[in-house]
Amino acid sequence: MLAALSVFAIVCYLLASGLLARPLFTGSTTTTPAPAAGARPALAIATIAVVTHAAQLLAVHRGALDLHFFAALSLVGCVVSALTLLVNLTRPVAALGVIVFPLSALLLLADSFLAAPTAPMPMDWHIKLHVTVALLAFSVLSIAAAMAILLAIQERALRHRQLGPWLSALPPLTLTESLLFRLIAAGFVLLTLTLLTGILFVDNLFGQNLVNKTVLSIIAWLVFGALLYGRWRHGWRGRSAVNLTLIGMGMLVLAFFGSKFVLELILHRTVN
């Protein structure tokens, strides 16, 4: 039953991303104020995928937060996909799904069929709060990173006059850039709350098992803070915004999953 849920969600994710990718080759536009008619079926299928993915996570991990490597990645994929759907309720950025939905399918596949079974470790409510805020921060900034990739693709195409039909299927450049900074601002606030709750609730934040995670998270916070300040004070945009966004996200990936990868998959040690 659980395997069937996983397979169904994976198929829906891939089908949705395929439908969203089709206009990139036909030149159909999705830049209307609401999701274009061609994108609505894909987003509906993606919604089914997210709901099924969430049901699979609840069933497998008993409704608790399982922070083991593959389980945490699958949870992040589900949350990022759900946030992508929410963003599309107000902004026509369905092309994001071409990046996000296949990745979510891959993460679900790994957790369901490649990873060893795991069980959630007990956590107090304040640690659950810290983890939840951190998950939201990581997910929002992940979408910002995907937007940065779209922005880089659009700017490169315009700079080199590669005006293929796929370019008209992407959101307007100004919309992509505006949404990028809104997502970064929201993610920065959530990342700030993550660090504050960590200081308040996590014992020995700079202990042996947490020092790398803490330091890398602080570096990411500084990078995103500098980007927002540069945008406000100096009007930073374009390549500078893309590079700093991807650098900050790279620090967060290392902070959230780098140490887990080494400890769980290489050293075979279980940590939260």
Q: What is the pLDDT of residues 57-99, one digit of tens each?
A: 999 877 788 888 899 999 999 999 999 999 888 777 878 899 9
Nearest by Cα to 240 from 156, 148, 171, 174: 148
Helix 69-87 × helix 125-159 angle, to 10° = 60
For residue 68, what is the DSSP state? S
- Rounded-to-integer distance, Cα 254 and Cα 162, Å: 34
Question: What mean pLDDT do residues 190-211 have?
Answer: 83
Q: Do 258 and 221 touch, CB atoms closer than 8 A? A: no
Residue bearing the bigger pLDDT, 269 or 217: 217
For residue 160, what is the DSSP state? T
pLDDT, tens only, 113-131: 988 888 778 888 888 999 9
Q: Do 234 and 226 touch, CB atoms closer than 8 A? A: no
Q: What is the pLDDT of residue 68?
A: 86
- Rounded-to-integer distance, Cα 91 and Cα 199, Å: 35
Q: What is the pLDDT of residue 271?
A: 54
Q: Do 97 and 43 touch, CB atoms closer than 8 A? A: yes
Q: Do 137 and 248 touch, CB atoms closer than 8 A? A: no
pTM: 0.88
Question: What mean pLDDT do residues 45-52 have?
Answer: 97
